[in-house]
Structure 1
Amino acid sequence: MANGSTLPRRALGRQLRKLRERAGFTQSAASRVAEISPQSYGRIEDGRQTKVTDLGLNALANAYETTDEERRLLLDLAREIRAATASGGGWWRAYADAIASGFHHYLSLEEAANWVTSWQTTVVPGLLQTRDYRQALTWATNPDQSPEEVNRTLDVAARRQDLLNRPEFHFEALMSEAVLRYTVGSPTVMAEQVKRLIDRAAAPNVEIRVVPNSETRPVGLFSRSFHLFSFPPLPSSKLQEPPVAFMEALTGDLYIERRDEVEKFSREAERIRQVALSPSASRDLMLRIVEE
């Protein structure tokens, strides 16, 4: 399974927590039923990487007095986790030396998603960056990196962009005009970057919309940049994973999974769409910027 085990692990953890709380068990009691440590059981409910056996899941299903359908769902999710582990994981494992700590989780979500919405106020989204633009950003943020390390980072960025060649993957880029006006690298680098955006926007699964500087309603400015991931149903269990929001910060990345909090980001994205130019008007604006 190309999307790795992140989603089925999250789904299994959520299902076990729901069943445990319904049955009135503590995590400590559940760990005794499954014959694992409380820490290991906690990691399972948190969706983190921990060995999960059918024997342990059947014991928990018995203790939680689940229905046959609920038991099958747990076992289906465990099967999906094992299949993903056997496949060797995501492509980014080969670039472990070039990926920042914790970013593999972002890559697994991105790879698993079938729809990503990105709101950007400062930089072009990674999936749409040219190599020269990415290189300028990398040198600015990591000036001590060797040329070899920089090239590995650029290779990861290029590999990520293969997602845009998947017809079932849809990317919606919402960005402020300021993103197009900042001079990253040089005027030539920026001109080529904006041309790349124009080319990418011609694809049926990529939509780029710009909030112009002339817009008087400051929608999106206080929310900062963010990403929204939506996912297709899991292959075997057909369980629908809820969306995830992501914000990148200097002191650490933030993944938002609580439904009410993610919904706030969804509403903010809709407000931004209301003030953004249409795709065709955004293209006209980008053409003018290239000419300038």
Structure 2
Amino acid sequence: MAAGSTLPQRAAGRELRRLRMRAGKSQTAAGKVIEVSPQTIGRMEDGLPTKLSRVYVNALCDEYVASPAERDRLLTLAGEVEEAKKAGNGWWRSYPVEPKFDHYLGLEDAAQKLTTFQLTLLPGLLQTSEYRRDMIWVDNPAIPTAEAEQKVELAMRRQAKLDEVGFQMEVILSEAVLRHRVGGPAVMARQLRHLTEVGDRDNVSIRVIPLRADGHIGLQVGSFVLFEFPPLPSSRMIEPPVVFVEEYAGHLYLEQETEIQRYHDALDRLRRVALDEQDTRSLILEIAKEFEA
């Protein structure tokens, strides 16, 4: 798993927060123990990139009166964070990406299963280079060509995820996604035929909710991505799922159990109104022919 430090960092942060809360310590008090700011403790507990040395872990475990088993678990996670950093901490780091999208790429790279519902656009792992390029120019018409092409290259490299052993992807789309003329008719026709080719993979399921379907929960929930993860290699801990919700002015990463369950429930309801995979394929090809006419 080339996950970068995203998952072990999150697991360690969650454990450190649990121990601190149990000990009744503030983030300010914890920061004084290892001589960092309360904000740094907050970043550490949120699983964001911060130094997580054995010295820090042992000092905080002493302060929190952690058990030997709790200390060993945290030291193992700290070791996993360091190993991930030595391994390069994510191949995408050589591309210019915003910090919040960098976090998304870390989750995508680490995921064992990705489930998504989309109302308007195709998910990045299914886009052709033409489709992606047009969306980049729409988002920022003034972007330098070289930078735009770097973004296209990044999108295409991400699609190697589909070849990863054990990875699964489930996609539910509104029919509207297939009909929006991204890049024009010729680009859309090629994009839709590419979609059917990807849908033929054993590890990819693509289903469409037709526009003729009665009102469904997806119209209220909106587009989202659910990430699920394999056990961490050394500690064997399993990170809880994460739901990503993209908004124009910012992104949401949801991790609370009640939040995740609501999205699982929404997915069950979306599956009930979506076409099966064969009927979906027929609809995609029918719309592709309309674009080719």
Task: Specify the TM-score bucket, using the shorter chain as the normaliser.
Answer: over 0.9
Alignment of 1:228-247 (within 5 A): 228-247=226-245
SS in 1 for 2:43: helix
User: How far off is 1:101 after superposition?
Assistant: 4.5
Larger CA deviation: 280-289 vs 152-161: 280-289
2: distance between equivalents of 1:43 and 1:102?
Answer: 14
Q: 2: CA distance between counterparts of 1:15 and 1:100?
A: 27
1:189 aligns with 2:204: no
**C-alpha displacement of 1:217:** 3.1
2:81 match: 81
Aligned counterpart for 1:214 among listed residues 182, 196, 212: 212
List aligned pairs for 1:1-292, cutoff 5 A: 2-96=2-96, 99-292=97-290
CA distance in structure 1 between the aligned counterparts of 2:245 and 2:60, rounded to whole angstroms:
35
Given that 1:117 and 1:228 are in contact with CA atoms closer than 8 Å, whether structure 2 keeps it comes out as: yes
What amino acid does structure 2 have at the position aligned with 1:61?
A: C
Q: How large is the Cα RMSD of the aligned pairs?
A: 1.4
Encode CA deviations 1:160-219: one digit per residue, 9 max, x unaligned: 111001121111111001111111111111111110110001111111000011111322
Give a deviation string over 1:40-85, Cα, whole Å, max 9, x none: 2222112122212212212222332222211110000000011111
Q: Which moved more, 1:145-154 or 1:53-62?
A: 53-62
Q: In the alignment, is the contact (CA less than 8 A) between 1:73 and 1:237 conserved in 2?
A: yes
Hey, what's the Cα distance between the residues in 1 that align with 2:63 and 2:137? Answer: 55
In structure 1, stretches of 5+ residues that fail to align are none
1:88 partner SS: coil
- The count of residues paired between Structure 1 and Structure 2 equals 290
The 3-state SS of whatever aligns with 1:10 is: helix
- Are the equivalent residues in 2 in contact too, given 1:175–1:211 (CA < 8 A)? yes
The 8 Å contact of residues 216 and 270 in structure 2, kept in 1 or not, is answered as: no
1:151, distance to aligned residue in structure 2 (A): 1.1
Displacement of 1:37 after TM fit?
3.2
Note closer, same or farther for the CA distance 1:137–1:39 as it changes in structure 2 (3 Å cut): closer
Give CA deviations for 1:210-237 in whole Å, capped at 9, x if unaligned: 0011111322011111111111111111
Aligned amino acid, residue 81 of structure 2 = I
2:111 touches 2:228 (CA, 8 Å); kept in 1? yes
Alignment-mate amino acid for residue 249 of structure 2: T
Aligned residues with identical type, % of pairs? 47
Matches of 1:141 and 1:60, distance apart in 2: 45
Greater alpha carbon shift after TM alignment, 257-266 vs 129-138 = 257-266
d(CA) in 2 for partners of 1:101, 1:68: 35
**Contact 2:241–2:255, Cα closer than 8 Å, also in 1:** yes
Amino acid at match of 2:41: Y
Distance 1:56 1:154 in 2: 40
User: Aligned partners of 1:79, 1:240: CA distance in 2, in Å?
Assistant: 16
- Unpaired runs of 5+ in structure 2? none
Read off the aligned partner of 1:126 and give its amino acid letter: G
